[in-house]
Amino acid sequence: MKIVILGCGRVGATLANMMDRAGHQVSVIDYSSEAFQRLDPDFKGETILGNGVDEDILIRAGIKEADAFAAVTNGDNRNIMASQIAKEIFHVKKVVCRIYDPIRERTYHELGLETFCPTTIGAQMLAEVLLSEPTAAKAARQDEKQ
């Protein structure tokens, strides 16, 4: 699969490395060249320096032939605009957009964008952990029962 990833932060770089190792053709865009240091030394994909809401940069990253696009910069609005360009102008089949702000995430989800919100997901996981019994206490109670 040909995948374009916008944003080479921790998430973007990890995703790019994973996809590259799985044998996919990966292009990563970031406006800082230092960000590309997060990629594996043997990363085989392409790195493109530039602004991800600029159509020319997306074209250089191969968006026209891409099967999938993921927007994971640290700017919600940048991700939203780039994802809409990928979807509406370049008709990429699979587009995923990270949005930190839960309200904005819900709005764009309603508008038909495939979105995910690390804020909501992270908070839910933390809540589950906090509300579950500590493992040690659980083990102790199990012992009592026996």
Partner 1 sequence: MYIIIGGGGDIGYYLTKTLLNQGHEVLLLEKDAARYQALSEELGEAVVRGDACEARVMEDAGAKRADVVIAVTGEDDDNLVICQMAKRRFNVNRTIARLNNPKHEKIFQKLGIDITVSPTKAILSLIEAEIPTTRFVPLMKLRRAGLDFVELRIPAESPTIGKTLREINLPRNSNLALIVRNNQPIIPNAETVIQEDDEIFALVSPEGEDAIRKAFGALG
Query: Using an 8 Å Cβ cutoff, are 43 and 25 in contact?
Result: no
Which of 68, 76, 92, 117: binder of partner 1 (CB under 8 A)?
Answer: 76
Residue in 90, 69, 55, 81 with CA at minimum distance from that of residue 4? 69
Which region, judged by CB under 8 A, interacts with partner 1, from 42-50, 60-68, 74-82, 115-123?
74-82
88 touching partner 1, by CB under 8 A: yes
* The amino acid at 23: G
Phi and psi of 45, rounded to 5°? -75, -175
Q: Which is nearer to partner 1, 30 or 76 (CB)?
A: 76
Residue in 64, 30, 51 with CA at minimum distance from that of residue 16? 30
Query: Using an 8 Å Cβ cutoff, are 72 and 6 in contact?
Result: yes
Residues linked to residue 46 through DSSP beta bridges, in sequence order: 27
- Closest approach of partner 1 to the CB of residue 110, in Å: 7
- Closest approach of partner 1 to the CB of residue 73, in Å: 10
Which residues ranging from 103 to 132 are in contact with partner 1 (CB under 8 A)?
Answer: 103-104, 107, 110-111
Chain contacts with partner 1 (rule: CB under 8 A): 53-55, 75-78, 80-82, 84-85, 88-89, 101, 103-104, 107, 110-111
